[in-house]
Amino acid sequence: MDKIIYFRDDDLGITDKLLKEYLQIWIDTDTKVNLECIPARLEQSTIKLLNSLGYDHFEIHQHGVSHLEFDPWNEFPEHRDISAVEDSLDTGRRKLEQAFGEHFKPFFTPPWHNIHQKFLPSVYSRYKAISPFDIPIHIDMRIRDENGPRWKTLDELKKEYDRIKDLPAIGVLLHHYLYNNQEDLQILKEFLLFLKKERKFKFFSEL
């Protein structure tokens, strides 16, 4: 059986400066990325951009609703009301369905990977799976070292991949809006071309 890989890109919403170039990389390399969209931050221009590029390489999921901190680093802390959270989930999901139609698939990623367990039945009754709980992440494209956060080099990424290359499925996390130069985008492109020879790229809906 083919070994597989899936990329999860968080925080789709605003049309960041390099978003088009970033999305173009997935098209140029003929690979796939799962885009986790924040309903409250979704701009018309982002919808237009994706519609113009088509969806052969992109699948849209829901990343929280507002991405606001009701507790530090948590949109869904225990003190929130279940029915209020359910209403907001539904409002957010409707917005994504209207924007992306069939290209939106019901998968959920809580911001900061944080959600109180009391909300899990509400989430599981609405979405097919939650990343990272059901769809785990193994590699983060960024690292925090003594100079602060930065994108990993191609060499670092290949070494990290090498350590887990026996896994049948590997998940990779990235955040498109943190790309601010061509060099880092080039590393992404080269890493995708390297992985393409090793594994099949999958959308969450294909796992």
Contact positions vs Zn ion (CB under 5 A): 10-11, 111
For residue 36, the minimal CB distance to Zn ion (Å) is 7
Which structure tokens are listed for 6?
């899936």
The total number of residues shown for the chain amounts to 207
- What distance in Å separates the CA atoms of residue 177 and residue 15, rounded to the nearest whole number? 9
Which structure tokens are listed for 82?
């279940």
- What distance in Å separates the CA atoms of residue 79 and residue 43, rounded to the nearest whole number? 30
For residue 111, the minimal CB distance to Zn ion (Å) is 4
Judged by beta carbon, residue 7 or residue 161, the one nearer Zn ion is 7
For residue 130, the minimal CB distance to Zn ion (Å) is 14
Of 201, 207, 205, nearest to 33 by C-alpha is: 201
For residue 67, the minimal CB distance to Zn ion (Å) is 6
Judged by beta carbon, residue 174 or residue 195, the one nearer Zn ion is 174
Judged by beta carbon, residue 38 or residue 188, the one nearer Zn ion is 38
Judged by beta carbon, residue 11 or residue 184, the one nearer Zn ion is 11
- What distance in Å separates the CA atoms of residue 116 and residue 128, rounded to the nearest whole number? 18
Which uninterrupted H or E stretch holds 60?
strand 58-62
Judged by beta carbon, residue 92 or residue 111, the one nearer Zn ion is 111
For residue 64, the minimal CB distance to Zn ion (Å) is 7
Of 177, 174, 166, nearest to 199 by C-alpha is: 166
